[in-house]
Amino acid sequence: MVAAIGLLVLGAAVIFFVNRSGRVEPFLQEVGFQRPTWAEYEAEVKASPPPPPGAADALLAAFHAVNRAELTGGSAAAAAHATRVEAAWQYTQLRTPEAYVQLGRQQGLLLQTRLEALLAWCRAEGRAVKEALAIDPPPPVVAEWLDVGGGFLAQAEEAGLVADGRVVDVWRPFIQALFLQHWIAPLRQRLPVDGYLRGPERIWFLRWKVERQQKGSLESRLAAADELRALPDYPADINAGVLLFQAGRLDEAAERFRRANHPFGPAFGEAVERAR
């Protein structure tokens, strides 16, 4: 039998558990974000120049089409994806891969702006988001969201990035990281496009995989935790141990907790022994 205990981390309520004897059960650690802060990053991207007039029109039209098509699927979605892949490639050839990724950063901020507008409209109208997205024809605020967001909102809600009809401010870096992964995906077969991401953008994505991803494979999440071991202040072994503990791989979890230089290492190790 367990009881929920609230802990304030990063300004968001995180739930972990203790049993009746007061023993802590292993839970994922969510730590503060290193510099640049989100405000610094957002300000820098907003200050960067947009593409020349007309330069991104074909690319953005293809991007909007694929976002709308992914909600319906079928042959239309496949055709829209093929068009988007070619449009993305052509943009890198007319400009540069760096310019393509920078446009993605700007579009990521636009997605967050339109997401906030959609959620505010739903609250004002007393509508559930799912209901709003099904309106045909969609009102302007819904149409603008569909162009950039497609089916992203369901993923954001599932991961807790959106809660109670509002964007969780502390998780904005994760939203940006997920958008950028979606943005660069069409180029991966032709370019080492991940190399054009900034260090913090890569870290945000890895942290999302470890801390918030709901449907990823365990091995993928463990690989992300291992990559995060390069960060001196990130509890990579503790979090990897928690993932292993939750998967029932107790020997491996115990080893991770033993080698973790973290205050919770011994207590989490004791939880492994109790679970054997």
What angle do the packed helices 218-227 and 236-246 form, to 10 degrees? 170
Percent of the chain with pLDDT over 90: 81
* pLDDT of amino acid 13: 32
If you average pLDDT over residues 101-108, what whole number do you get?
Answer: 98
**Which string of b and e fits 126-145 if b means at least 16 CB within 10 Å?**
eeebeebbeeeeeeebbebb
Model confidence at 12: pLDDT above 60: no
* pLDDT of amino acid 215: 87
Q: What is the pTM of this model?
A: 0.89
- Which has more pLDDT, 23 or 192? 192
pLDDT tens string 40-80: 999 999 999 999 999 999 999 999 999 999 888 888 899 99
- Write down the domain spans for the chain: 54-197
* Nearest partner of 226 among 214, 212, 211, 210, judged by Cα: 210
- Which has more pLDDT, 66 or 16? 66
If you average pLDDT over residues 113-131, what whole number do you get?
Answer: 96
pLDDT tens string 151-205: 899 889 999 999 999 999 999 999 999 999 999 999 999 999 999 999 999 999 9
If you average pLDDT over residues 264-269, what whole number do you get?
Answer: 94
Model confidence at 243: pLDDT above 50: yes
